[in-house]
Amino acid sequence: MALDDIHTPVLLDRCVDLLAPALRREGAVFVDATEGMGGHSEALLERFPEAHLIGLDRDTDALRIAGERLARFGDRVTLVHTVYDGIAEAVRSTGRRSVDGILFDLGVSSLQLDEADRGFAYSQDAPLDMRMDQTSDVTAADIVATYGEGDLRRIFERYGEEKLAARYARAIIAARAEEPLTRSGQLVDLLIAATPMAVQRERAGHPAKRVFQALRIEVNGELTVLERALPAALDLLPVGGRIVVMSYQSLEDRLVKRVFAEASSSTAPAGLPIEPPEHAPKFRLLVKGAELASDEEKLRNPRATPVRLRAAERVKEAAA
């Protein structure tokens, strides 16, 4: 089956349009910090025939597929196996100190969701894995087996915003005393059983949704990594350089919003009649608030439904 049939990049045209002013430069370089199966990168390489890609991904399967998909672009493509908080090191490894455009398409990829044995989807029984980087050590099964009740409750509350976090944590502790919880189906059955019927009727989503999200974030350190990656990415952009970030859950989007707000705000003390140049914002926001997918795109590509897009452009050099 063709990749276009199994992977539809989210907000593709919008991402290309937002990055276009930066990538029209001679010798432009852009980073796809979440390469995945290469859909966004392919479109950008086609649209800007002089541009060079540095593609990052922690998933070796994704890099292999992207490498095959982008092979026709030859030496215009450099793929790096790394988590996106390694963006600065990855760029330096190519002999560069800056790049013109950066794209982050956060969250779990189509490849990871669609491969049942990766354990990301609560709708399919599989080993409780959830590692985006299959060379890493800790799986979701390890967390479920070893974390204490307090730590399970903490990650369910913090990363899943789960109101029944305490109830689910107690249920896991009790269940694992009887038998190891090694498969997603076991965990889903346990969570459903632990959810009061009244709550199941009131909730729009599956009872396991938020717990699975929390485990995935914990396994992959997603928010910690993103918190390091965004400032590093902004530091790589020269004046006129642009960054686009797509988030799929509120925790990510709030973090992106905060970092972009700080970068696009004056640092001058309140009340000054004139803003000193050194306090002027270094970035300007390119979209108002968080941009959503159109109804048409949501129908065509349901995975675009929760997306929140934010973008910014550097307008002032960083202080030396």
Annotated binding residues:
38-40, 57, 84, 105, 112
Query: Residue 288 is encoded by which pair of tokens?
Result: 């108002």
Tokens 């107690």 -> residue: 170
Beta bridge partners of 245: 104, 310
Query: Residue 287 is encoded by which pair of tokens?
Result: 């979209």
Rounded CA-CA distance 69/81 in Å is: 16
SS3 272: coil
Direct distance between the N- and C-terminal alpha carbons of the chain, in angstroms, rounded to an integer: 51
Q: State whether the Cα torsion 98-265-231-253 is positive or negative.
A: negative
Residue list, annotated binding site for S-adenosyl-L-methionine: 38-40, 57, 84, 105, 112
Asked whether 99 and 29 are in contact (CB, 8 A), the reply is: yes
Q: State whether the Cα torsion 295-300-303-307 is positive or negative.
A: negative
- Cα–Cα distance list, 65 to 173, 206, 234, 257 (Å): 39, 31, 28, 31
- Cα–Cα distance list, 201 to 38, 54, 195, 278, 292 (Å): 40, 47, 10, 56, 28
Query: Residue 318 is encoded by which pair of tokens?
Result: 């960083």
Looking only at Cα atoms, what is the longest distance across the chain?
A: 69
